[in-house]
Amino acid sequence: MAISKQLKLSGLFFLLGIFIHPVQSQTQVELDRIYSIPELQTDFKVLRNRYESRFTNLELYHSAQQVQLVFDSLYQHITPMNAREFYSYICTLNSFIKDGHSHLLPDTKTSQYHYLNSLYLPFDIYVNNKSLFIKANYTGNLTIPVGAEIQSINGLKSADIYEFMMNRQVRDGLNEQYALWILNHYFKEYYSFYFGHPNKYQIQVNTGTGKSHFTTLDGLTNIQIDQNKLIYSAPTIKNVFESPNFRVKYDTSENVAIITIKTWEYPNLKSEIKMAFEEIGKQGINNLIVDIRDNQGGNFKPAIYLCSYLLNQPFKYYLDVKSVRRNNKGQRKFRSKKSFLLKTFFPVSKPFKGKVYVLINGGTFSNSTAFSSCLANYKRAVFVGEETGGDAVISSGVFSSKAYIELPNTHIQCENSNYQLHLNSSTSHNGRGLLPDYQVQSTLDDVIMGHDPVMEKTRSLIQSNREQ
């Protein structure tokens, strides 16, 4: 996709959509096939070459020597493995490289097969302080209440499962918020990527009585889980893809408008934004809440358009866009690229002049962090919630189908960012996301009961300002 059109979404979760298409059945023999050392070494060489030749952020957090040592070590310690084991093995590159736009996914055919046929952990999991809690139970087993702590799964301690999975999750820089957000939304999927699809799950749980007990449960297919959601539904916070991607609420009694944007890819988003501000103007509202929690990014243009309503001066969205190529000596060289993203943008004729509050969390990623950084640089908003999952100073992007490859033997999918983007930020680069002015984190009880302490805090700030 051309850079002049849009930044592609991180892809990590939207690619999960590949699972829903029908495929030919696979035998267990095919799924468990052990690949030889030469076959896996061939795949790794292809992967390494892709990272070293095209990936912009390869040496953003490590020296060239450190990167070489990690690649060499992984290559030298390859043993015969099946595709899932090899996927788990090479995914350690995710946490080492620290680029949220570069990731690996199991091959399409196998993923589709598993989605339709295999058995999954029958819970939604809440991850907090390296511990695992049940936020939704789809089994009907009343001995395992929502809120119970899982202490082990199939003989592995939860702390060890957490460390294993976090050591393989993508993230931007030194910031682990995006990795945590992934686990909190897609735990059972990534558990299956790393640990497979057992028929049964032996769960050690602590129900809050101070004693733990073991329970063995049958795994469930995704179809069964979806069916059981209707039966055993709980008032938990909805998954990002289950909630409206765009909505506007007007509260004239409190003089507040709330714009919620779950993705910048929403159809006709620019026209929806225009209509929202027309209505805000008609109603004389001067407090605006922009909720971009769980918004993983997407199209630049509506985000920049929204900035034009919130800023009252010409503004820069990005300061530099770079690509990397190897020269004829094999050296990695950066070069700046021409892009509409480097333009100076201008506010609309009648921008919003009231108070702006932006809600952020670990799922605020990529272009959503760029949007936040732009407003923060011009001191135009108060930020409430959690540190963004995206880097607040240097991001990356995938602008071409050439950024995607499939490894020749295992068919593992690889996406590498091929552009480095420098956000318009007044802070120096330290590998962290944008930090909120007011740190607010949901507790387990909040998640279970559907409370929204971030929104409540924001409304209290508006009320306090009104009373001053």
Distance linking the first and last C-alpha atoms of the chain = 50
Q: Which domain holds residue 281?
A: 240-467
DSSP state of 16: G
Contact in structure between 189 and 124 (CB atoms under 8 Å): no
CA atoms within 13 A on the CB side of 74: 22
Q: Which residues contact 176 (CB under 8 A, 6 or more apart)?
A: 166
| 380 domain-assigned | yes
pLDDT for 468 equals: 67
pLDDT for 11 equals: 37
What phi, psi does 331 have (nearest 5°)? -85, 145
pLDDT for 128 equals: 92
**Region label for 213, one of left (φ > 0), alpha (ψ between -120 and 50) or beta (otherwise):** beta
pLDDT for 25 equals: 57
Q: Residues 32, 219, 411, CA angle at the centre, nearest 5°? A: 30
Spatial distance between the Cα atoms of 8 and 46, rounded to a whole number of angstroms: 23
Spatial distance between the Cα atoms of 303 and 317, rounded to a whole number of angstroms: 10
CATH number at residue 294: 3.90.226.10
| 453 domain-assigned | yes
| 283 domain-assigned | yes
Q: Which residues contact 406 (CB under 8 A, 6 or more apart)?
A: 107, 412, 413, 414
pLDDT by residue (tens digit) across 35-54?
A: 999 999 999 999 999 999 88
**Region label for 379, one of left (φ > 0), alpha (ψ between -120 and 50) or beta (otherwise):** left
pLDDT by residue (tens digit) across 183-206?
A: 999 999 999 999 999 999 999 999
Q: How many domains does the chain have?
A: 1
Angle between helices 177-195 and 158-166 in degrees, nearest 10: 110
Torsion of CA 280, 376, 416, 165, to 10 degrees: -100
pLDDT for 135 equals: 93
Could you say which residues of the chain have pLDDT below 70? 1-29, 233-243, 468
| 125 domain-assigned | no
Q: Which residues contact 320 (CB under 8 A, 6 or more apart)?
A: 336, 342, 420, 421, 422
- Identify the three-state secondary structure at position 144: coil
| 349 domain-assigned | yes
| 451 domain-assigned | yes
Contact in structure between 132 and 429 (CB atoms under 8 Å): no
DSSP string, 205-269: EE-SSS-EEEEEEE-B-HHHHHHHHHHS---PPPPGGGS-SEEEEEETTTTEEEEEES-TT-TTH
pLDDT for 23 equals: 43
Distance of CA 267 to the CA centre of its chain: 21
| 103 domain-assigned | no
Asked whether the CA dihedral 9, 11, 16, 21 is positive or negative, the reply is positive
| 128 domain-assigned | no
- How many Cβ atoms are within 10 Å of 388's Cβ, its own excluded? 35
pLDDT for 143 equals: 87
Contact in structure between 410 and 31 (CB atoms under 8 Å): no
pTM: predicted TM-score of the whole model, two decimal places: 0.91
Torsion of CA 77, 79, 85, 91, to 10 degrees: 20
